[in-house]
Amino acid sequence: MNSQIKHQLQIQLQSNQDHQQQFIKSQISQVQQPQEQQIKSLSNIKSFNYQIINHNYIQQQEYCNLVAFNKDGSILAVGCDNLINLYEFSQGMLKYNQSLNDHQDTVNTLYFMRQSNQIISGDQNGYI
């Protein structure tokens, strides 16, 4: 009788261990699936390379601390001291267009409007 009980306990213990292992495997699987999905989605991200255009630079005499492109990337506005210098940007080349000198103090905000090529700018004195 004692050996039968011992045998039944061993069977029950083995069954419990099997259930625990299955539960642990299912928990691990649930954790791994999102990680695998993240890895797959990250592998779908296409890489791209930046290129520094060394042959096309424009020396500024003023301290320049702001740049902004219009919506299609064809106009570059650069805030230099109290000036806003505008450049045409085409095929990787910058061409000076004009300077706006309406600010009395250092320009610290530049923003192109989304629907037009108009610029909103602000300076350190609070003028817009």
Q: How far apart are CA 119 and CA 62, in angstroms?
A: 20
pTM over 0.75: no
Tens digit of pLDDT for each residue in 16-51?
777 788 877 777 777 666 766 776 666 666 677 777
41: helix, strand or coil: helix
Report pLDDT for 43. 65
Query: Which spans in the chain are helix H?
Result: 2-43
> What are the extents of the domains in the chain?
1-48, 64-123
User: What is the CA 57 to chain-centroid distance, rounded?
Assistant: 26
| Torsion-angle region of 68 (φ positive above 0: left; ψ -120 to 50: alpha; else: beta) | beta
| Torsion-angle region of 126 (φ positive above 0: left; ψ -120 to 50: alpha; else: beta) | left
CA dist list (Å): 49 to 2, 46, 52: 75, 10, 10
102: helix, strand or coil: coil
Tens digit of pLDDT for each residue in 52-91?
766 667 777 788 889 999 999 899 999 999 999 999 988 8
Q: Is the pLDDT of residue 103 over 80?
A: yes
Do the Cβ atoms of 119 and 84 come closer than 8 Å?
A: yes
